[in-house]
Structure 1
Amino acid sequence: MPEKVRKQEAASVGPIAAVRDWVGELLTHYGSQEYWERRYQKEPCAFEWYQGYAGLKPLLNQYIAPDANILQIGVGTSSLQEAMVNDSYKRILNVDCSETVVEHMKERHRGLPSLVYKVLDCRDMSCFASGTFDAIIDKGTLDAIVCGENSVADAKQMLLECSRTLRSDGVYMLITYGDPRSRLCHVDNAELGWDVIMYYLEKKESPDNLNNDGHGDSKRHMYGPYSSLNGDDVNFLCGLQDVHFAYVCKRK
């Protein structure tokens, strides 16, 4: 939108409404592949959405075995997968719709054969057979998709693909800022064929929550499990502020 037009609209609707419209317009870009391609061309440096390995280690260890066949969707410039293979995990396939970021990450981790990178739109993973993966990690990808213009349909298609490519008893693990009011409508769907368990995590990995090796202490950082079928659990989680949420979706 031209700046002159934006200022005219701001004057007519008021400053608060103008800012709200601008933020809404910005968030819509998060659902666009073109936005992420441009962003990674300008900002190839590492960026960690939500939680690092220290915060997620207890949850990952609980649900994902070290020798599991793992897919991470919408990897971006995350360092999570590097920390995982440097700890105990054997192999992780990382995909992103941005060719720029995939090439950057291939170069960055060329000395780590356990990490593989591939350009892929997670709404269409037909290159993978059904039941390929033991675990799928999503740290911000669904969040980006639900900001797009076709958010409901695109989110459903992505989640159906995740469900299809998971083995029986496999897990789709979503790390997000979204509370159950905004995320259960997507992930708690009978068509997906999984059960949903919820956790919340403190945003900051404070020194008191870290062990000598820098890894998190689940007793003080991660809370749960909570059931998506329990109304009291859902209401409690919806009342929390300044936390992240984890939805562990276990394939039946």
Structure 2
Amino acid sequence: MEYLPEENSRYKDIDYWDERYKTEQCYDWLGSFSKFQHILEKHVLKEDSILILGCGNSSMSGDMYNAGYHGITNIDYSSVCIGTMSDRYSDCVGMTWHQMDVRRLSFPDASFDVIIEKATLDAIMVEEKTPWEVSPQADGFIHQALTEVGRCLKPGGRFVSVTFASPLFRKRLYARAEYNWSIQKYGYGEGFEYFVYVMTKGEALSPEDAAVEKKLLEDAESPPTTNVTMQLEDEEDFLFNIES
């Protein structure tokens, strides 16, 4: 691919994204909005206030706007991306764009009904060598981001995470009582399945998900020795089968 970095670590480098966004027009990790629109429609209302994390140059924001979701705030840590997308969608009244770090959201508490991320957390974790044991650095980064998500959600608000990560691995990050949310899982895609997790603030974890957290706490006292390499760890977009 034209934008293939020399090393996966570049996916966490803002300079890489700034350069990429200077020439790349659009790229939709995990497929376009239409692929999972039927799932979002179950949890996101047209009048909801929506925050999209790590918006990139995806068409998702524009597609959602055209579908009737007009209260959309977009953030990305690349100023190049935000400048380009703001100009591209300047005629979309009510949709805004801000340069921001997902770990330090500058919004007041309880600002949004819905917060969405699509492959943003996947990119953060691209260097992880095993899905069974996330590195302290990545775990800390994700925890900071999820804590901010929970803070900015209104009571009853929904955090929607679109990812290639299966429940076996992703629920290890989301199933924590401290986040004060429940988890629902959906799938979409043909041939290669992607996942949509919907976390609802103020609802308790299911007994099954609470058991996931309990086991993680137990494992922390005696970590596993298995070293399983993540699928596609050395491929371009660690999401090599993505449909655009």
TM-score normalized with structure 1 length? 0.71
Aligned match of 1:144: 123
Q: RMSD across aligned C-alpha pairs, in angstroms?
A: 1.9
Return the alpha-carbon distance in structure 2 between the equivalents of residues 90 and 151 of structure 1.
33
**How far off its partner does 1:34 sit?**
3.0
Among candidates 76, 79, 98, match of residue 96 of structure 1: 76
- One-letter identity of the residue aligned with 2:195: F
Matched, 1:69 2:49: yes
Among candidates 176, 182, 186, match of residue 173 of structure 2: 186
Q: Structure 1: which 4+ aligned runs deviate by more than 6 Å?
A: none
Matched, 1:172 2:159: yes
**How far off its partner does 1:44 sit?**
3.0
State the structure with more CA Rg.
1
Greater share of helix: 1
Matched, 1:154 2:141: yes
**DSSP 3-state at the match of 1:199:** strand
Write out per-residue CA displacement over residues 151-204 of structure 1, whole angstroms, 9 at most, x where no aligned residue: 11101100110011001111110000111222111111111111111111114x
**DSSP 3-state at the match of 1:185:** helix
Matched, 1:249 2:199: yes
**How far off its partner does 1:91 sit?**
1.3
- One-letter identity of the residue aligned with 1:51: G
- One-letter identity of the residue aligned with 2:90: R
Return the alpha-carbon distance in structure 2 between the equivalents of residues 96 and 195 of structure 1.
26
Aligned match of 1:131: 110
Return the alpha-carbon distance in structure 2 between the equivalents of residues 178 and 106 of structure 1.
30
**How far off its partner does 1:109 sit?**
0.7
Aligned residues: 191
- One-letter identity of the residue aligned with 1:121: D
- One-letter identity of the residue aligned with 1:143: D
- One-letter identity of the residue aligned with 2:34: A
Q: Report 1:15-30 matches (<5 A).
A: 26-30=7-11
Return the alpha-carbon distance in structure 1 between the equivalents of residues 169 and 18 of structure 2.
26
CA contact (8 A) 1:44 1:101 kept: no
Matched, 1:39 2:26: no
- One-letter identity of the residue aligned with 2:114: A
- One-letter identity of the residue aligned with 1:199: Y
CA contact (8 A) 1:168 1:251 kept: yes
- One-letter identity of the residue aligned with 1:26: E
Aligned match of 2:212: none
TM-score normalized with structure 2 length? 0.74
Return the alpha-carbon distance in structure 2 between the equivalents of residues 105 and 44 of structure 1.
12
Aligned match of 1:119: 99
**DSSP 3-state at the match of 1:198:** strand
Return the alpha-carbon distance in structure 2 between the equivalents of residues 34 and 89 of structure 1.
31
CA contact (8 A) 1:82 1:115 kept: no
Return the alpha-carbon distance in structure 2 between the equivalents of residues 181 and 102 of structure 1.
34
Among candidates 25, 30, 46, match of residue 50 of structure 1: 30
Unaligned runs of 5+ in 1: 1-22, 204-240
**DSSP 3-state at the match of 2:42:** helix
